[in-house]
Structure 1
Amino acid sequence: MEPIKLDILAIGAHPDDVELSCSGTLIKEKSLGKKIGVLDLTRGELGSRGSADIRDKEAANAAKVMNLDVRENLGFKDGFFTNDEHHQMEIVRVIRKYRPEIVLCNAIDDRHPDHAKGSNLASVSCFLSGLLRIETFLNGKKQDHWRPKHVYHYIQWKDIEPDFVVDISGFIDQKLEAVMAYESQFYKAGDEGPKTPINSENFLQSIKYRAANLGRLTGSNYAEGFTVERYPAINSLFDLK
């Protein structure tokens, strides 16, 4: 059976990266009939809270909330994966498998070093996936080359200035539900587990107030921001909101 063709593939270094940063956009596009998938690079096994097995279950629950068509995890080594041929080829196989038009990936610079590494690794892999002379196989069958039309980077811990934003008004509650599917990771009153930067009440609130602020600045209720690798083009000034 031929794998499903995706419109958007969001790639994250860890389970919950996508939910925190661009799940509102994915949920909105899914509501508009697009095919949506997520590729997690690691299982987040170095996280101070929860475990890899727990996060596997949480990722599956978040996938249901977002109504994803596909979710895969490559099982790279959390904290220690590198931007080398082995890791690039693994991602190339997935890109050629699902043939996304758009790839969303980690922030280009962030507090967690895996985020910048994952950002560059995904971007390089998208380029390599389009090269004819790189051969990959799926179930014994040679894959066709495929390069996504666009690679955009979502925003994570740092307040990077976006190049454009997506209006997610009407989808903020579902985004927050997807985030809170990771019960082991985020703030809960009375919780006595290890304290981490993303486990504070302030961080949990920041997910909504960042989206609200981007919305305020662009004339909507809530928005998510992205940076680009090349200038975006429009057909008409009237395409801009």
Structure 2
Amino acid sequence: MLDILVIAPHPDDAELGMGGAIVKFISEGLRVGVLDLTSGEPTPHGSLEIRDQETAAATKILGLEWRENLGLPNRSLEATLENRAKLAEVFRRTRPRWLFAPYWVDAHPDHVAATELVEAARFWSKLTKSELAGEPHHPERIFNYYCVHLKLVPQPAFVLDITAEWEQKVAAIRSYESQFITGRPTQSPTFLDQLRDEAAFWGKSIGRPYGEPFTCREPMGLKSMAELL
């Protein structure tokens, strides 16, 4: 039974897009899980065995107690009815209050398909008189994190302060050596340098050292202004 379920097209997307948020949520006592939709393979320097090891290492660093892989095909992820049913059954089994999915505008077809799949599965998950396993469940809201393959500047709905969680996020990302270190340019700015600069940009927007941006298709309600930075 989860409070938050993060859906990632590939292992490492959750870490890149919201690794700091995951660490923060867990530290606040929320039950957080990550569902990777595909293995992420093949890649130039990875393999199924390597990615499994890297994902396990990152999972431990983040402090996650629940992480699964739906086993859908990398590079050809589709929001089919069959895949929708598989994901809806995970929602029914884990019963999260909130879902986090990739931003819906992206150059990577897997990322676009993942968000379409999450939105459709959320609807199916609540249906009665269906052949889906488990009891109906409707997650309250979908939030979207940014892990995009487009050179765009997002206009987020909110930015989360991840200053205290920054080092832990970087350590989790470093676990994916086959993706972000091996074969990458070593001259500055490296991929990790750019990641730091992006986090610093979003931190500056809220007056903090580091931040992660998020958005949501639906309006968000506030009980008070007390927690705003």
Fold match by TM threshold 0.5: yes
Q: Is residue 2:35 matched to residue 1:39?
A: yes
Aligned-residue CA RMSD in angstroms?
Answer: 1.6
Aligned position for 1:140: none
The one-character-per-residue Cα deviations of 1:171-205 (angstroms, maximum 9, x if unpaired) are 00000001111111112xxx5x4x59xxx953321
8 Å contact from structure 1 (residues 103, 151) kept in 2: yes
| Structure-to-structure mapping, 1:90-109, within 5 angstroms | 90-109=86-105
Among residues 4, 9, 34, which one is paired with 2:5 in the alignment? 9
C-alpha distance in 1, partners of 2:130/2:19? 32
Structure 1 unaligned regions, length at least 5 = 138-142
Pick from 180, 183, 187: which aligns with 1:186?
Answer: 180
Give unpaired runs (5+ residues) of structure 2: none
The answer to whether the aligner puts 1:202 opposite 2:190 as a matched pair is yes
Q: How many residues align?
A: 224
Q: Distance in 2 between matches of 1:33 and 1:236?
A: 21
Equivalent residue number for residue 161 of structure 2: 167
Partner of 1:54: 50
Partner of 2:139: 148
Give the TM-score, by structure 2 length.
Answer: 0.92
Residue 98 of structure 1: CA displacement?
0.7
Q: CA deviation at 1:236?
A: 2.5
- Measured at CA, do residues 185 and 232 of structure 1 come closer, stay the same or move farther in structure 2, by a change above 3 Å? same
When the two structures are superposed, what TM-score results if normalisation uses the length of structure 1?
A: 0.88
Q: 2: CA distance between counterparts of 1:66 and 1:99?
A: 21
How far has the Cα of 1:134 moved from its partner? Answer: 2.7
Q: Which residue of 2 aligns with 1:120?
A: 116
After superposition, the C-alpha distances for 1:128-179 in whole angstroms (9 at most, x for unaligned) are 1112233322xxxxx1111111101101134322111111110000000011
For 1:72-111, list aligned pairs within 5 A: 72-111=68-107
Cα distance between partner residues in 2 of 1:48 and 1:160: 29
